[in-house]
Amino acid sequence: MTALSRRTRAGYALGGIASGTYGTVPGLILMPFLTDLLGVEAAIAGMIVFAPKAWDFFLNPIAGRLSDRSRHPHDRRRPFILRAGILLALAFVAMFFGPTAPPVAGALWVLVLFLASATVYAFFQVPFLAMSAEITDDYSERTRLISWRVIVFTLAILVSGAAAPLLVELAGGIAGYRIMAGAMAVLILVGTVGVWWGTRSVALTRDEVAGGRLFGQLAEVLRDRDARTLILAFVLQAVAIGMVLGGVVYVARHVVHDPGVATIAFVCFVGPAVVLTPVWSMLGRRIGKKSGFAVATVVMTAGLLALLTARTGDAVPLLVASGVVGIGYAGAQLFPLAILPDVAAEDAKRSGVNRIGMISGVWSGFELLGYALGPAILGIVLSLGGYVASTGDEVAQSDAAQWAIVIGVSVIPAALCLLSLLPLSRYRLDAQLRAAALAA
């Protein structure tokens, strides 16, 4: 079994700054940027946010396959991470420096640059995920490694998710969005350089080589029952979280009528993970990763249903419910990411073929598809509720539109989380690996 040093855990965790920032800010900012500044209709804006991440659904397995076949067997993933992270920061900034009128021109610019950033992000995120299955072969050590990563990832979500709307509101208009983009690009660069430098001396514990053709290996991954059940559970929750992240600004602006509440609600949502991830980690060691994931899902679902209280227009119930969601979200982030390297490493051990990047790519692709579907579904819900887009001026939304906003961040995401428990119940590998670890 391979225990890792604190320096290695910290170095790996720093990559969470880049993935947390990029994984959060577009879902939080792009929909309001398109609908409330560029004047793009809500359903179209939702599809613009959806399309690039749907592209990554197809691209991520390819990115994983390419990193599996790297010509640097002792430094397989790090070169991909460094190059892609730098390009990601540049593409993200450029997204907000396009035309603002007419709406069609602005929408097309955002779509093209978002596609570009999604492309390079695949070559950052997939090798980053794959590393966790290669730098340790210890069941419990993987949970500790991912705990560090989740804490840093959550801090990045907290900082970027709170700062991005605040910077937009403080500067106002297009200037606010451009200042925000520059600040977020700096965070992406810090995370990129941090993980590249911090993992420079770590040794790989897996030496299998990649083999076979792309689609053949992809078919092998999708035939794996444990991989399929986990991916389905996780993607359902990703859709739910994507809807909540995409809707919190709308709740603050049009239901509570205080844009500043969006920042506070976001802090309440992700903040608990900073404190509670170690607690969830200890619970996982007691009851297993699968059971911990199920408990976290139930807690998160209860919080999502409580978000219905936001319709009263009172900020306090909204913030309390957001905190409950955040408690569950902390565990719902930790356990799937701790389970992924178990599945990938066990597949390599069983098959003798390195598909770790491919599995990570399939996982990440479905995750991004879920996060992309969230805003897209939210956009449809808002349109059905009669939400009115604008070009910067405040528009009073109807009672039906306000109900659509609240249902889009509460009832529908809660139903998706409950549904995710069905495929999770069919995951079997965790019991085997936990028993082996306890017997060792």
State yes or no: pLDDT of 1 exceeds 60.
no
Sign of CA dihedral 263, 269, 270, 273: positive
H/E stretch holding 403 reads helix 399-409
**Strand spans (E) along 121-189:** none
Residue 283 has a pLDDT of 92
Residue 205 lies in a domain: no
pLDDT band at 212 (very low <50, low <70, confident <90, very high): low
Q: Provide the residue type at 314 as one letter.
A: D
Cα separation, 76 vs 132, in Å, equals 12
Structural domain including 227 reads 7-197+210-439
Residue 415 has a pLDDT of 96
pLDDT, mean of residues 322-326: 92
Residue 140 has a pLDDT of 82
Residue 178 lies in a domain: yes
Contacts of 91 by beta carbon, 8 Å cutoff, 6+ apart: 113, 116, 117, 120
pLDDT, mean of residues 235-250: 88
Contact of 266 with 248, CB cutoff 8 Å: yes
How many folded domains does the chain comprise?
Answer: 1
Cα separation, 325 vs 320, in Å, equals 9
Q: CA 274, 277, 282: angle at the middle one, nearest 5?
A: 150
pLDDT band at 94 (very low <50, low <70, confident <90, very high): very high
CATH number for the domain spanning 377: value is 1.20.1250.20
Residue 1 lies in a domain: no
Q: CA 239, 215, 88: angle at the middle one, nearest 5?
A: 50
Sign of CA dihedral 200, 203, 209, 210: negative
Contacts of 286 by beta carbon, 8 Å cutoff, 6+ apart: none
Cα separation, 285 vs 152, in Å, equals 21
Residue 203 lies in a domain: no
Cα separation, 397 vs 416, in Å, equals 27
Cα separation, 326 vs 299, in Å, equals 9
State yes or no: pLDDT of 416 exceeds 80.
yes
- As given in the structure block, the two tokens for residue 351 are 């098959």
pLDDT band at 133 (very low <50, low <70, confident <90, very high): confident
Residue 112 lies in a domain: yes
Contacts of 418 by beta carbon, 8 Å cutoff, 6+ apart: 297, 301
Residue 318 has a pLDDT of 87
User: pLDDT tens digits for 33-45?
Assistant: 888 888 888 878 8
Residue 221 lies in a domain: yes
Cα separation, 271 vs 50, in Å, equals 26
Residue with tokens 């920032």: 21
User: pLDDT tens digits for 354-410?
Assistant: 777 778 888 888 887 787 788 888 888 988 888 877 766 667 778 888 899 899 999
Torsion angles phi and psi, residue 172, rounded to 5: 80, 145
State yes or no: pLDDT of 2 exceeds 90.
no
184-193, 200-209, 328-337: range with highest mean pLDDT? 184-193
User: pLDDT tens digits for 168-198?
Assistant: 888 878 889 999 999 999 999 999 999 988 8
Residue 357 has a pLDDT of 78
Residue 204 lies in a domain: no
Least confident span in 171-180, 321-330, 334-343, 388-397:
388-397
Cα separation, 322 vs 325, in Å, equals 5
pLDDT, mean of residues 431-440: 77
pTM of the model: 0.77
Question: In a 10 Å sphere around its CB, with 0-12 CB exposed, 13-18 middle and 19+ buried, how is residue 98 labelled?
Answer: middle
Cα separation, 31 vs 138, in Å, equals 41
Contact of 18 with 85, CB cutoff 8 Å: yes
Contact of 293 with 335, CB cutoff 8 Å: yes
State yes or no: pLDDT of 353 exceeds 80.
no
**Eight-class DSSP state of 102:** S
**Eight-class DSSP state of 106:** H
Contact of 2 with 205, CB cutoff 8 Å: yes
